[in-house]
Amino acid sequence: MLGDPENQFSVTRRAPSASGRTKTTFRSVALLLLFNGILSVLGLGCSTATPRQPDPLQKAWEAAVAKGFSGGAMVVVGNRTRFFEVRSSASAKEFAIRKNTPLPICSVTKAMTAEIVFDLIDEGKLARDGTLKTQLPWIPPFAENITLRQLLTHTSGLRNMDKALGEDTNGVSRIYQTFDESWRPLQSRILGIIGNEVAAPAGTKYDYNNADFLILQAVAERASGQTLAKLLQNHVFGPAGMRHSLLAPWNSAKTPFVDCYAVEGGKETRLDRFNMGIYGGAAGVLATPEDLVQWMKFMVTQPAGRKIVLGGSQFGGFQGFGGYAYRSSFIRKQLSLPGDELVFERPGAVNGYTLQISFLPERGVAAAAFSNRAGEKLGSVYEGTGLVADLIAAAGAGLSAPSRQ
């Protein structure tokens, strides 16, 4: 009877034929393989394959996180994002960093300003060894023979911007904390910073000076007839695909970007904001980590970026065209290379923010780390220690030849 559950399975048993046994065997094997495949996808299947080795980049990241690192890290190889992680240990939402969180990129801005200057040189609007006398009619006589090359390499000899308004009781330069409108116009700001005489003859002394890149901003704006904000969009943000980056406005205390903080006695304390708008072409760009990944790809794959990371190499050990360029024995040892590897590094730090980007331009590799927690150590290839050094060594290890795809 059809409705009788017992009768549904009450059939006469016969011995299976040889062909029937073969079909059953094939069916069983197929089902077994299918079942094992499903388990494999779930990570439960049996496999005789060699176990996958742990990703060295993930290993370096997890080691840093285990030590309490708070911030983010990214690695690109050519046009490929090889690694990108963000981990914020801040308990307060106002300090939390995510991949799409705007933050100051500090002096990494200088490499962008340098690229704009180089583009204008290529267009015939500027000359690398042209003097300020021919570029800025309002520059004082004592500074008129300073060249663009000297500004790009911090050998202008001009008074340092850090000393313009002295220091507060904590030893922090007051110039970066002022919102006084009299410092807002770029020309007035530059003239107020450089004073009435040079600190050293041009070309004779290296001195890291934000004023050099403010002057380069003024030169680029006059030569192009465009503001720095527009130049950044046309030469950097647009070509690199940086959709959420901008030049900080004057009153950046009201601009939506993540705050930096310090941890004291287990308590998170917000640090007072500097006026990011006063930095201009020296350190005034705000960008998201996602945009920084795009910029890193641009710098290692596109001619406009590569001429910066490669062009600074002639100034080995010094600031060259917006970054530090040198030959690294650390990379040579890590990758077992026959000779020292060219490295271009661009650190940045403002108040409690820190950012470090390192390039292996001959291999098309870049690694970066950032944090908004005061006192966070990022390391560098130059030092041969820290998260950035670990990341770029791990990224370059698998590349036997330059990779610029």
- Cβ neighbours for 58, distance < 8 A, ≥ 6 positions apart: 83
pLDDT, averaged across the chain: 84
Say whether pLDDT at 15 is over 50: no
Q: Which domain holds residue 385?
A: 56-396
Establish if 205 belongs to a structural domain. yes
The interaxial angle of helices 109-122 and 303-311, nearest 10 deg, is: 110
Establish if 155 belongs to a structural domain. yes
Question: What is the DSSP track for 268-332?
Answer: EEEPPPP-GGGTGGGT-EEE-HHHHHHHHHHHHHSHHHHHHHHHGGGGTTSEETTEEEEEEHHHH
Q: Which residue has the higher pLDDT, 322 or 86?
A: 86
Copy the structure tokens of residue 286. 């705000």
Whole-prediction pTM value?
Answer: 0.83
Per-residue pLDDT, averaged over 287-298, amounts to: 96
Distances in Å between the alpha carbon of 251 and those of 99, 181, 183? 25, 9, 12
pLDDT in the model for residue 5:
36
Per-residue pLDDT, averaged over 386-391, amounts to: 91
Establish if 263 belongs to a structural domain. yes
Best CA proximity match to 71, nearest among 379, 382, 383, 393 = 379
Residue type, 9: F
Say whether pLDDT at 144 is over 70: yes
Contact 57, 391 (CB under 8 A): yes
Establish if 342 belongs to a structural domain. yes
Q: For residue 215, what is the domain's CATH number?
A: 3.40.710.10
Please give the Cα distance from 287 to 243 (Å, whole number): 9
Buried b (16+ CB within 10 A) or exposed e, 200-228: eebeeebbebbbbbbbbbbbbbebbebeb
Copy the structure tokens of residue 400. 């036997």
- Cβ neighbours for 356, distance < 8 A, ≥ 6 positions apart: 345, 346, 347, 348, 368, 369, 370, 378, 379, 380, 388
Establish if 359 belongs to a structural domain. yes
DSSP3 helix / strand / coil % (the chain, rounded to 5): 40, 15, 40
Buried b (16+ CB within 10 A) or exposed e, 73-94: bbbbbbeeebbbbbebbbeeee
Reported as a single tens digit per residue, the pLDDT across 172-192 is 899 999 999 999 999 999 999
pLDDT in the model for residue 319:
52
Copy the structure tokens of residue 127. 């000359």
Q: Which residue has the higher pLDDT, 132 or 323?
A: 132
Establish if 292 belongs to a structural domain. yes
Say whether pLDDT at 280 is over 80: yes
HSE at residue 65, side-chain half, CA atoms within 13 A, is 14
Q: In total, how many domains does the chain have?
A: 1
pLDDT band at 401 (very low <50, low <70, confident <90, very high): very low
Per-residue pLDDT, averaged over 227-235, amounts to: 97
Please give the Cα distance from 355 to 378 (Å, whole number): 8
Task: Give the bridge partners for 345, in sequence order.
Answer: 324, 358
Establish if 403 belongs to a structural domain. no
Establish if 255 belongs to a structural domain. yes
Q: Which residue has the higher pLDDT, 60 or 317?
A: 60
Say whether pLDDT at 217 is over 80: yes
* 358 three-class SS: strand
Write down the H helix ranges in 78-185.
109-122, 132-135, 148-152
Buried b (16+ CB within 10 A) or exposed e, 354-377: bbbbbbbbbbbbbbbbbbbbbebb
